[in-house]
Each structure stands twice: as structure tokens, then as C-alpha cells.
């Protein structure tokens, strides 16, 4: 997979990586979950692809504790005389300027090694089918009970369909026919309507999904065509929603060939547990279009150049420059010990001086980590990459919070290559 395509596989915020592929633009009515379901069914046990993850250098202008990343496969240029370092989660490490190059491996895990959210991905409620977003929802966002849904999951190893009943609830602010909350164990999981329902106007989407209340627009990237400009944070998105509130009559545009070539635009990160969306794109173009894949399918509206101009001007005036967002945190090193409920990872292999390596403690209570050791064959002595969503607790012995996978890697020609 080429460098510019890795975020497409991850579903990242940068829309240019998504819209750049012809089959994505032309097959608007095939949602993300559908493509992966088809791929898994065809390939059986695994899906392969190539990826590259850059280990960027950072300069003293970067704030430790923040987050910095480059498009995989790219690194920041080193300036002679400046201090080098790499942010790993929330800490800075003295890594040499290397790249992690490797191969993605999306395994279909045995049923017993899947979380409940991974096992049951389809819900049938009152004759309507919903698909799991995999995102958990805070109880404060859950409304009235809608009854019991039948959940379905498929065990590819045993060629067996599993079903279970689960109580289902409305999500505050969203029409139940669009998105619902399913209680799985002690977690509420967002499930989304799988059918294609073309809205007539932008107002329908704004109202039926309560976007102004449920979708924070706090980060964006500037684009000229597909060329990425600066990244910014926006402390208050009220001005954007105020403008969009006047665009309720903006009509839905059916244009499978719509693209961002030769267009100036701002691409806002669209993440909302209530909407079941993680780092999708909400993009406004200077020539008057609003494009989003927030609801899985392509939604395109013409809001007019005046409204678009107001949004872009407001964002630019009120935003502050920020480091590019990461999709997830990653830590690389040598797996030195597999203990009872933990593993130890030494990152000395990435340091100019290996003795400067730190030993990180990665809890293995999460089945998504444990299965990498017990089923995928990750073992002591392997070079590994740990994916995690939290911080690193230095006071607790460099404990990695929120680890959810450990993948195998190897050294090659001075770089670190990773087999995911």
C-alpha cells in the first residue's frame, strides 16, 4: 500500500486519502462496513496489505505531552544542532530517525478471542437492520428503551451463526430509525441503520441527527485540492453551526464523480460516539459544497459560496495552529518478557544508544492484546508494535494505558519493519 493510502485503510480524518481512490468516489452506496464484510467472507482467515509508519523527529518547538504524527512513511527533516526526539503517546523518546515499514494483517479471530462488540455486529429491531459501529456510548446519552433486538454474529472457523437478544435504546437527539444504542454486557454500543436513505435537504440531516449538539468540529486541516496545508484546533464551533442553521434548504447533490481537485477546502474531523463515527470527514469547499462521510455513505450538499465563505473565514479567524492528529498511538520495541497479566517492551532498538531504552509495561487483561500472544504467535524476543489509545503512566513504571493490539515486526536494512 502506498504511503498516501494508509489512512484510507484506517478511515482517517484526512478526506483526500479517501476521495483520491476512484472506486471510493464512484461507489458511493457501498458503506465501509459492507466492504470489510465482503472482504472477510471472500478471504476467510486474513486480509493482507502493505503499510508504512513513520517515526518522526520533533524539535524543541513541539510541546511534550502533545501528539505529533506524519503520514506513514514520511519523517520530519532534522535540523543540524536541534534536539531530536519522538513523541510516543504523551512522552518524548530519543529515537534515531528511522521508519517502521511493514505489512498489515487483518486476522479473523476465532470466536472465543473476540470481544462481544466484535462478535455481534448486526441487530434486527422491529424489522429494521442495524450494523455495529464498534463505538461505546456513555449512559448519559442513552434515552428510552425501544425493546429487544436480535443480534447476529458469525463464527467463520466453525461456520456457525450465533444469535442473542439485547435490550435496545434510543440515543438522545437522534431518530431511532437512524442510530440506536444496544446494551452488550455493561456497555452501550452504537448501531447504525444499514439502509441508504437519501435526504432531500441538509436540514433533514441537521435535525434528525442533532449534529450541532452531537458533532464537535474542534479540529480541521486546510487543503488546496488534495495538497494538505496546516492543521488547526478550533475552541468554539458555534459560528459554524450558526451558519449551517441558515442552510437547511440546501439540496442533496447526487454526483458520484464529485472530487476535491482544484478546490480550496477545510476538512473537519468528525468524531461522535452517538453518531457511531470515528475520525470521519466533514468538509467545506470554498465554491459552496459541504461533503461528509460521517454517516458511512457520501453526503453532498450545495450550501452556496457565501455560506461556505463565512464558515471558512470563521474557522480561520478563531483557530490556532496545532500538530496533525494521530489515528492511534503506537509504541515499538523488543518484547522482553511475557508475564502474568502483562508484557514488557524495551524500545532500546529504536534509540541511537540502546542503553537509553525504556522498558514499558503493557497490561494484557484485554482479550485483544492477549489473543496476539496466544493465537497470533507473538513471543519473547520479537520486535513488536503496540497500538494503544490512552497515555503512558511514567510514575507507574511506564505503564501503557489502553493497549488493544500487539503486532510482530523485524529489523531490515537499518529500518524497523512491522508485520501487523
Per-residue pLDDT of the chain (420 residues; tens, 9 = 90+): 433 333 333 333 333 333 333 333 333 333 433 333 333 333 333 333 333 343 332 222 222 222 223 333 332 223 233 344 678 888 989 888 765 544 445 788 999 999 999 999 999 999 999 999 999 999 999 999 999 999 999 999 999 999 999 999 999 999 989 999 999 999 999 999 988 888 999 999 999 999 999 999 999 999 999 999 999 999 999 999 999 999 999 999 999 899 999 999 999 999 999 999 999 999 999 999 999 999 878 999 999 999 999 999 999 999 999 988 878 888 999 999 999 999 999 999 888 889 999 999 999 999 999 999 999 999 999 999 999 999 999 999 999 999 999 998 766 655 555 554
Cell of 226: 488534495
Residue 342: Cβ-neighbour burial (10 angstroms; 0-12, 13-18, 19+)? middle
Cell of 83: 534536539
Cβ–Cβ under 8 Å, residues 94 and 85: yes
Q: How many CB atoms lie within 10 A of CB 382?
A: 18
Cβ–Cβ under 8 Å, residues 188 and 182: yes
Cβ–Cβ under 8 Å, residues 262 and 252: no
pLDDT of residue 182: 98
In angstroms, the Cα distances linking 320 to 178, 232, 233, 317 are 34, 5, 5, 9
Separation of CA 370 from chain center: 22
**Domains, the chain, with CATH or none:** 3-29+197-321 (no CATH), 37-44+110-193 (2.170.150), 46-107+328-419 (2.40.50.140)
> Of 312, 311, 286, 280, which Cα lies nearest the Cα of 298?
280
pLDDT of residue 396: 95
Residues 6 or more apart from 108 whose CB is under 8 A from it? Answer: 40, 44, 45, 46, 156, 157
Which pTM value belongs to this model? 0.76
Which regions of 185-313 does DSSP assign to beta strands (E)? 187-193, 219-224, 227-233, 264-272, 277-285, 289-292, 299-302
In angstroms, the Cα distances linking 229 to 184, 226, 265, 323, 324 are 41, 9, 10, 12, 10
Amino acid at each position: 500500500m502506498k504511503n498516501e493510502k494508509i489512512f484510507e485503510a484506517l478511515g482517517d480524518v484526512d478526506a483526500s486519502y479517501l476521495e483520491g481512490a476512484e472506486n471510493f468516489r464512484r461507489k458511493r452506496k457501498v458503506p465501509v462496513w459492507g466492504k470489510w464484510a465482503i472482504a472477510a467472507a471472500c478471504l476467510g482467515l486474513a486480509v493482507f496489505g502493505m503499510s508504512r509508519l513513520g517515526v518522526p523527529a520533533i524539535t524543541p518547538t513541539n510541546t511534550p505531552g502533545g501528539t505529533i504524527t506524519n503520514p506513514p512513511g514520511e519523517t520530519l527533516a532534522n535540523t543540524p544542532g536541534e534536539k531530536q526526539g519522538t513523541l510516543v503517546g504523551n512522552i518524548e523518546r530519543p529515537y534515531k530517525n528511522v521508519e517502521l515499514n511493514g505489512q498489515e494483517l487483518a486476522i479473523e479471530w476465532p470466536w472465543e478471542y473476540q470481544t462481544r462488540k466484535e462478535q455481534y455486529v448486526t441487530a434486527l429491531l422491529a424489522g429494521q437492520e442495524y450494523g455495529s459501529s464498534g463505538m461505546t456510548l456513555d449512559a448519559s446519552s442513552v434515552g428510552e428503551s425501544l425493546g429487544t433486538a436480535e443480534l447476529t454474529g458469525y463464527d467463520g472457523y466453525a461456520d456457525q451463526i450465533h444469535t442473542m437478544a439485547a435490550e435496545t435504546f434510543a440515543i438522545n437527539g437522534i431518530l431511532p430509525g437512524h442510530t440506536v444504542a444496544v446494551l452488550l454486557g455493561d456497555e452501550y454500543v452504537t448501531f447504525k441503520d444499514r439502509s441508504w436513505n437519501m435526504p432531500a435537504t441538509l436540514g433533514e440531516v441537521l435535525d434528525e441527527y442533532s449534529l450541532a449538539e452531537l458533532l464537535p468540529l474542534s479540529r480541521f486541516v486546510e487543503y488546496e485540492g488534495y495538497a494538505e496545508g496546516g492543521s488547526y484546533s478550533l475552541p468554539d464551533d458555534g459560528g459554524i453551526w450558526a451558519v449551517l442553521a441558515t442552510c437547511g434548504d440546501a439540496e442533496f447533490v447526487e454526483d458520484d464523480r464529485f472530487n476535491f481537485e482544484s478546490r480550496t477546502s477545510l476538512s473537519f474531523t468528525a468524531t461522535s460516539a452517538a453518531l457511531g463515527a470515528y475520525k470521519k470527514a466533514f468538509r467545506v469547499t470554498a465554491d459552496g459544497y459541504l461533503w461528509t462521510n460521517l454517516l458511512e455513505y457520501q453526503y453532498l450538499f450545495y450550501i452556496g459560496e457565501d455560506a461556505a465563505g463565512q464558515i471558512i473565514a470563521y474557522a480561520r479567524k478563531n483557530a490556532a495552529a496545532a500538530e496533525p492528529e494521530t489515528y492511534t498511538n503506537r509504541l515499538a520495541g523488543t518484547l522482553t518478557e511475557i508475564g502474568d497479566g502483562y508484557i514488557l517492551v524495551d524500545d532500546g532498538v529504536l534509540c541511537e544508544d540502546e542503553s537509553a531504552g525504556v522498558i514499558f509495561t503493557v497490561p494484557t487483561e484485554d482479550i485483544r492484546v492477549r489473543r496476539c500472544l496466544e493465537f497470533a504467535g507473538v513471543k519473547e524476543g520479537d520486535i513488536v508494535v503496540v497500538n494503544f489509545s490512552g497515555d503512558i503512566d511514567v510514575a507507574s513504571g511506564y505503564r501503557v494505558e489502553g493497549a488493544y493490539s500487539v503486532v510482530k515486526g523485524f529489523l531490515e536494512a537499518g529500518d524497523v519493519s512491522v508485520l501487523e
